Structure 1
Amino acid sequence: MDQLKNYVEIVKKNIETMNASDYYGKEDDLKRQEEEIEKYERWLKQESVSGDQFDQIVDAAVDCAAGDISFSQLEDVYRKGKS
């Protein structure tokens, strides 16, 4: 679950960066974060059974990063996606 936690953290950081006031280097930060997100999403695709399950896990991770659901709820979605 460390990979899943790391994914949520980078998504959370990306949300914060997108919502932050403009600053020098913001575009570079967003690009680096997007590359990290893509790395974790490749991992998730390998773990997921179908495209729909992948989409559900990604949506749940974004909800978790935004504080709309708990990490344990995200874990439930993730486990269902793998079964």
Structure 2
Amino acid sequence: MDILRGYVEAVKRNMETMNASDYDGKEEDLRRQQEELERYEQRLKEKSASADRFDQVVDAAVDCAAGDISFSQLEHMYQQEGS
């Protein structure tokens, strides 16, 4: 679950940066965050049974970062990944 929790936190940081007022270095922060997200996504993709399941987990992680679902709901979905 560490990968999943780290990914949600990275998505939250990215959302906050995107919604923040412009500041010096914002583009660089967004670039670094995108690279971090891609690393997490690669690790999640390696564990996914299919591309569709990967997409579902990523969508749910974004929903969790936005506060639309709880982390426990996301965990439950992620654990169903292997089913």
TM-score class, shorter-chain normalisation, is over 0.9
Give structure 1 regions of 4+ aligned residues with deviation exceeding 6 angstroms.
Answer: none
Deviation (angstroms), 1:43: 0.4
Please report the TM-score for the alignment, with normalisation by the length of structure 1.
Answer: 0.97
Q: Deviations over 1:20-76 (max 9, x none)?
A: 000000000000000000000000111100010000000000000000000000011
Equivalent residue, structure 2, for 1:46: 46
Deviation (angstroms), 1:82: 2.3
Percent of aligned pairs with the same amino acid: 69
Return 5+ residue gaps in structure 2 as ranges. none
Return 5+ residue gaps in structure 1 as ranges. none
Deviation (angstroms), 1:81: 1.6
Q: How many residues align?
A: 83
CA RMSD for the aligned pairs?
0.6
Give, as a single letter, the amino acid of the residue that structure 1 aligns with 2:74.
L
Partners of 2:62 and 2:78 in 1: CA distance: 13
Give, as a single letter, the amino acid of the residue that structure 1 aligns with 2:7.
Y
Asked if 1:79 is matched to 2:75, the reply is: no
Asked if 1:55 is matched to 2:55, the reply is: yes
